[in-house]
């Protein structure tokens, strides 16, 4: 008897599962059929994101207003500030894609969060303005109640509530500077001159102006060759820097200053001892996230390389040291002289100290190093008399003379001489 009752219960449970499945599938089919039958239309008509010139969002908490400017987007209410253009474009894209369904023919919008609306959006496109009212989320179907330019209550399938969750501070740009690094032509670096027993507020400052020339990055006052990598690292740091928080106290005093000139526009960053910074792209003092590569002294920006070149761009070289010399060119098959590659490798290792004073070049040249790039640019230095075991080096491009230590000169001399026979042949040991 118990076995028969067990089989009966099992059969009833199975029938119930099948019945529930049929009901659920039937409801899903009805939902899909209803959605397919519903007439959907764009909430903004033919307006595209590229047409939009302004957006106003009004809620019970206040009004957020954003306007297009010549260089992007700006917040105009409740604060005046540069806007994060990417975030703005994302919101405008959500509005461009917004679709409204059929009229629900409801008598009142009170139960749908539309009297008053949770959000009222006014999208400007030239002289035209389009108003959208956004209500509450519908209880089923992942929809939201909306009014698309009229009083009819409809729903939308797009997740518009997620796009409207950002506050004014979320739309505020965190950028420090915006310019193409390839357009950089000048970088001015101002640092304090640290002197004993001088209060920070009374410190004097010194400025180095780095200018990009056909002969590399040069100091504007002396013409000395500068370290290209260090200059570009500071410029890239300005582009990569972001605001951690917005402050009210200005940098006091502004001891450190960077000014990058690109396309004729100057982009400035100032640091103060109180840890705040000022940048024209922001309308308030800021604290930056992370560390900024500030040089300890301006003279550390002087190039330590003999010549500032990218070996990959070179097409010709001439190196003459005393009576030894090598000249070669490079084509698709490589260098025409076997010593070219080791010479370039040695040249990359040579280091000089341009901070040390050097006597003026005298007499005829003892040596020359000249490199030419495929872009037609050339780099050249001339070696002169020996002073205390070092060679005086002059810069035909106009920079000051400097000293090349003997140990560094030997790198080039060894590469210029080439490998000896004992380095390249297996010479049997003497019995």
The pLDDT tens digits of the residues spanning 169-180 come to 899 998 888 889
Q: Of residues 333 and 428, which shows the higher confidence score? A: 333
376 — pLDDT class (breaks 50, 70, 90): confident
Mean pLDDT of the residues in the chain: 84
Least confident of 13-17, 98-102, 245-249, 386-390: 13-17
pLDDT of amino acid 219: 95
The separation between CA 345 and the C-alpha centre of its own chain, rounded to angstroms, equals 32
Phi, psi of 68 (to 5 degrees): -75, 135
What is the per-residue pLDDT for 11?
A: 44
Contact (Cβ atoms closer than 8 angstroms) between residue 68 and residue 125:
no
Long-range contacts of 195-203 (CB under 8 A, 24+ apart): 200/253, 200/255, 200/273, 201/253, 203/255
CATH (residue range 41-171): 2.60.40
Handedness of CA 64, 67, 72, 76 (dihedral sign): negative
Q: What is the mean pLDDT of residues 7-27?
A: 40
Give the position of tokens 């033919």. 46
pLDDT bin (cut points 50, 70, 90) of residue 419 is low
Question: Beta-strand (E) ranges in 174-264?
Answer: 184-193, 204-213, 216-219, 243-246, 254-262
Please write the tens of the pLDDT for every residue from 206-243: 999 999 998 889 999 999 999 999 999 999 999 998 88
- pLDDT band, very low/low/confident/very high, at 385 (cuts 50, 70, 90): very high
Is pLDDT above 70 for 43? yes
| Residue 37 confidence (pLDDT) | 62
Using pLDDT thresholds of 50, 70 and 90, give the confidence band for residue 8: very low
Length of the chain as a residue count: 431
Does the fold of domain 311-420 match that of domain 41-171? yes
pLDDT of residue 153: 93
123 close to 134: Cβ distance less than 8 angstroms: no
The architecture of the domain spanning 311-420 is Sandwich (2.60)
Report, as an integer, the average pLDDT of 100-104. Answer: 91
Angstrom distances, CA of residue 329 to CA of 18, 77, 315, 323: 83, 63, 6, 20
Given pLDDT bands bounded at 50, 70 and 90, which one contains residue 20?
very low
Most confident of 53-67, 279-293, 297-311, 349-363: 53-67
Report the distance separating Cα 355 and Cα 89, nearest Å.
Answer: 50
Token digits for 394? 């002059």
Residue 378's pLDDT band (cuts 50, 70, 90): confident
| The model scores a pTM over 0.85 | no
Helices (H) and strands (E) in the chain, counts: 7, 25
CA distance linking residue 412 with residue 343, whole number of Å: 6
Q: Is the pLDDT of residue 429 over 90?
A: no
User: Does the pLDDT value for residue 27 go beyond 80?
Assistant: no
pLDDT band at 292 (very low <50, low <70, confident <90, very high): confident
pLDDT (0 to 100) of residue 196: 79
User: Does residue 16 surpass a pLDDT of 60?
Assistant: no
Q: Tell the residue number behind the tokens 């010194």, with chain if given.
A: 206
End-to-end CA distance of the chain: 109
Whole-number Å distance between alpha carbons of 380 and 318: 9
Whether the Cβ atoms of residue 400 and residue 355 lie closer than 8 Å to each other: no
Strand partners, 217: 212
Domain regions of the chain by residue span? 41-171, 181-301, 311-420
DSSP 138: P
Average pLDDT over residues 279-301: 84
Long-range pairs of 401-405 with CB within 8 A, sequence gap ≥ 24: 401/358, 401/359, 401/360, 401/361, 402/352, 402/353, 402/354, 402/356, 402/358, 403/352, 403/353, 403/356, 403/358, 404/306, 404/350, 404/352, 405/352
Tell me which residue of 155, 216, 175, 168 sits closest to 395, measured CA to CA: 216
CB proximity list for 311: less than 8 A, separation 6 or greater? 344, 348
Within a 10 A sphere around the Cβ of 257, how many other Cβ atoms?
A: 18
pLDDT for residue 54 is more than 90: yes
Q: Is 377 helix (H, G, I), strand (E, B) or coil?
A: coil
Q: How much of the chain exceeds pLDDT 90, in percent?
A: 50
| 44 vs 21 pLDDT, higher one | 44
SS3 call for 406: helix
Residue 166 has pLDDT above 50, yes or no: yes
Residue with the larger pLDDT of the pair 18 and 90: 90
Q: What is the spatial distance between Cα 253 and Cα 8, in angstroms, rounded to a whole number?
A: 89
Helix (H, G, I), strand (E, B) or coil at 415: helix
pLDDT band at 425 (very low <50, low <70, confident <90, very high): very low
Confidence bin at 36 (pLDDT 50/70/90): low
Run of H or E including 40? none
Q: What does the block give as tokens for 36?
A: 């397919």
Q: What digits encode the pLDDT tens for the residues 121-162?
A: 999 998 899 999 999 999 888 899 999 988 999 999 888 898
H/E run at residue 348? helix 340-349
């Amino acid at each position: 008897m118990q076995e028969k009752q067990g089989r009966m219960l099992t059969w009833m449970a199975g029938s119930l599962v099948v019945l529930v499945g049929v009901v659920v599938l039937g409801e899903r089919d009805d939902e899909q059929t209803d959605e397919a039958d519903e007439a959907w239309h764009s909430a903004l008509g033919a307006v595209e994101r590229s047409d939009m010139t302004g957006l106003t969002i009004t809620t019970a908490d206040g009004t957020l207003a954003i306007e297009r400017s010549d260089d992007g987007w700006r917040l105009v209410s409740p604060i005046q500030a540069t806007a994060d253009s990417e975030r703005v474009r994302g919101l405008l894209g959500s509005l461009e894609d917004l679709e409204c369904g059929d009229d629900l023919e409801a008598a009142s919008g009170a139960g749908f969060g539309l009297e008053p609306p949770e959000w009222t959006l006014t999208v400007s496109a030239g002289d035209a303005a389009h108003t959208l009212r956004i209500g509450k989320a519908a209880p089923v179907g992942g929809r939201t109640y909306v009014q698309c330019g009229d009083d009819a209550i409809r729903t939308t399938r797009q997740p518009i509530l997620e796009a409207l969750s950002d506050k004014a501070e979320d739309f505020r740009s965190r950028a420090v500077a915006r310019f193409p690094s390839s357009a950089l032509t000048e970088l001015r670096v101002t640092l304090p001159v640290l002197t004993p027993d001088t209060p920070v507020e009374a410190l004097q400052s010194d400025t180095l102006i780095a200018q990009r020339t056909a002969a590399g990055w040069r100091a504007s006052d002396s013409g000395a060759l500068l370290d290209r990598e260090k200059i570009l690292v500071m410029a890239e740091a300005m582009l990569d820097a972001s605001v951690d928080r917005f402050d009210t106290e200005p940098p006091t005093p502004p001891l450190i200053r960077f000014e990058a000139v690109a396309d004729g526009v100057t982009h400035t960053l100032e640091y103060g001892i109180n840890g705040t910074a000022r940048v024209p792209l922001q309308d308030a003092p800021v604290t930056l996230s992370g560390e900024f590569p500030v040089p300890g002294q301006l003279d550390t920006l002087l190039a330590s390389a003999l010549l500032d070149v990218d070996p990959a761009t070179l097409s010709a070289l001439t190196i003459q040291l005393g009576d030894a010399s090598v000249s070669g060119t490079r084509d698709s098959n490589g260098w025409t002289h076997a010593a070219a590659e080791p010479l370039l490798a040695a040249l990359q290792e040579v280091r000089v100290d341009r901070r040390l004073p050097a006597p003026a070049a005298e007499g005829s040249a003892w040596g020359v190093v000249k490199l030419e790039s495929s872009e037609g640019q050339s780099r050249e230095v001339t070696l002169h008399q020996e002073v205390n075991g070092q060679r005086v080096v002059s810069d035909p491009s106009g920079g000051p003379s400097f000293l090349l230590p003997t140990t560094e000169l030997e790198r080039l001399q060894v590469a210029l001489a080439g490998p000896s026979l004992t380095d390249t042949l297996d010479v049997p040991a003497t019995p």
